[in-house]
Structures are given as structure tokens and as C-alpha cells.
């Protein structure tokens, strides 16, 4: 009804030109508005209320964004050498030998740097400098925990 009255106000010249009745014009406008809304609703997929039985199609990714930022912040606190080793091992999913070749250091150094880097990350997360548990790639998640 509101939309019908708004359209009548905006098109007042159509109401006073003497062609047909005002009532008929208003009813036609109201019917057209209802038809348009029905067709628009039918064109979209039905909306389903979120419940435990019907979870959202796509999970909210805000927590993972915050967790990623927390991990990146913790990685920034590491020395460049430790950060490079973790990046090669866990984010690029390279083996110790591949990481050693890429970084140009012995495999034993890769192992010791990864050990101390993970130890430093654990300490960072124990101190409470994170909003929630970080979501690292599977390999890093198992080692940090």
C-alpha cells in the first residue's frame, strides 16, 4: 500500500488527467507491484533459515582471517632465518632436503632452525598474544600444538 501511495504521489498528473478512475489506477498499480515482487522472489533461490540442521553453505571466514593474521604476526617476530625455514617446510610443503637446497644450507641446519622456530612460536602463543588458536596448514598445526 505504501509503495502504491508513493507512486500515486510521484505521478499525480496521471490521477487528475480525467482518464479512468483514480481507484482503478491505484488498484492496477498495487497489482503490478505485487506481481513484480512475486516474480522477483521466484527468480531467486529460496532463503533457508540457519540452524544446526541446515548450516550455511559457506562458513564465515572471519575467524580464519584473524588466525592467519595472528600466525603472520608471530612469524614476523622470528628471525629471518627461522621464518624462511618454516616457510619452506610448512607453507611450500618442501622436504628438509628440498628446503636445504632452496636455502643453500645443510639439512641439519634446516632441522635445528625449524626446531627453534617452532619452539619460539609455541612461546609466542602461550603468552596469550593471539585472539584464538591459529589455523596453520596441517603440518604446522600438528608440530606447534
The angle that helices 22-43 and 2-10 make with each other, rounded to 10 degrees, is 120
Query: Which among 110, 116, 20 is positioned nearest to 77, based on CA atoms?
Result: 116
Residues 109, 84 contacting (CB under 8 angstroms): no
Lowest mean pLDDT across 51-55, 59-63, 139-143? 139-143
Confidence of residue 23 (pLDDT cuts 50, 70, 90): confident
Residue 94 has pLDDT above 60, yes or no: yes
Torsion sign across C-alpha atoms 125, 82, 106, 104: positive
- The mean of the pLDDT values for the chain is 81
Would you tell me which CATH number, out of the four given (1.10.10.10, 3.40.50.1950, 3.40.50.670, 2.30.38.10), belongs to the domain 62-144? 1.10.10.10
CA separation for the pair 97, 113 (Å, rounded): 14
Q: pTM of the prediction?
A: 0.48
Report domain extents, the chain.
2-43, 62-144
Amino acid at each position: 500500500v505504501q509503495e502504491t501511495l508513493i507512486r500515486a504521489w510521484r505521478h499525480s498528473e496521471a490521477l487528475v488527467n480525467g482518464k479512468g478512475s483514480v481507484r482503478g489506477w491505484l488498484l492496477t498499480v498495487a497489482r503490478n507491484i505485487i506481481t513484480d515482487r512475486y516474480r522477483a522472489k521466484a527468480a531467486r533461490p529460496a532463503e533457508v533459515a540457519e540452524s544446526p540442521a541446515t548450516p550455511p553453505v559457506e562458513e564465515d571466514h572471519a575467524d580464519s582471517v584473524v588466525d592467519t593474521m595472528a600466525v603472520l604476526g608471530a612469524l614476523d617476530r622470528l628471525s629471518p632465518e627461522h621464518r624462511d625455514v618454516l616457510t619452506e617446510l610448512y607453507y611450500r610443503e618442501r622436504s628438509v632436503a628440498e628446503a636445504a637446497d632452496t636455502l643453500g644450507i645443510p639439512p641439519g641446519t634446516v632441522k635445528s632452525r625449524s626446531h627453534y622456530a617452532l619452539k619460539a612460536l609455541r612461546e609466542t602463543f602461550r603468552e596469550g598474544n593471539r585472539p584464538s588458536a591459529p589455523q596453520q596448514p596441517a603440518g604446522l598445526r600438528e608440530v606447534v600444538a
